[in-house]
Amino acid sequence: MVDLLSSMTLLQIIELGPDTVKVFRQYEQITGSCLLCNNLFDSLESVASQYSLKVDDFINSLQTSNE
């Protein structure tokens, strides 16, 4: 999978790597909200900010999901 950027939307990320859906589902346990329902068109950066997540950890988790 290509390198993910914090400026990418969740939709762009799952298009690039369908396996990232599993990671978003895991994060939903932390956020308590369906990210792929409510934030599909938001950037990873803004989602991380909204839910006080570390964006670098978020990217790493997504990046490794397809490897």
Partner 1 sequence: MIRTIDARGLTCPQPVILTKRVMDEKSGEEIVTLVDNPTSLENVCKLASSQGYTFVVETQGLEQHIHMTRQDSDISTEMIPTKDMTILVKSQYFGQGDDELGAVLIKSFFYTLTEMGPELQNLIFMNGGVHLTTEGSPVLEHLQFLEQKGVQILSCGTCLDFFSKKDQLKVGQVTNMYTATEILFNASKTLVL
Q: Which residues bind partner 1 (CB under 8 A)?
A: 10-11, 14-15, 21, 34, 36-38, 40-41
Q: How far is the CB of 41 from partner 1 (least distance, A)?
A: 5
Q: DSSP assignment of 17-45, as one string?
A: -TTHHHHHHHHHHHHSS-HHHHSTTSBHH
Cβ partners under 8 Å of residue 65, min gap 6: 17, 19, 20, 22, 23
Q: Which is nearer to partner 1, 15 or 56 (CB)?
A: 15
Cα(67)–Cα(51) distance, integer angstroms:
26
Q: How far is the CB of 10 from partner 1 (least distance, A)?
A: 8
Q: Which is nearer to partner 1, 1 or 40 (CB)?
A: 40
Q: How far is the CB of 37 from partner 1 (least distance, A)?
A: 4
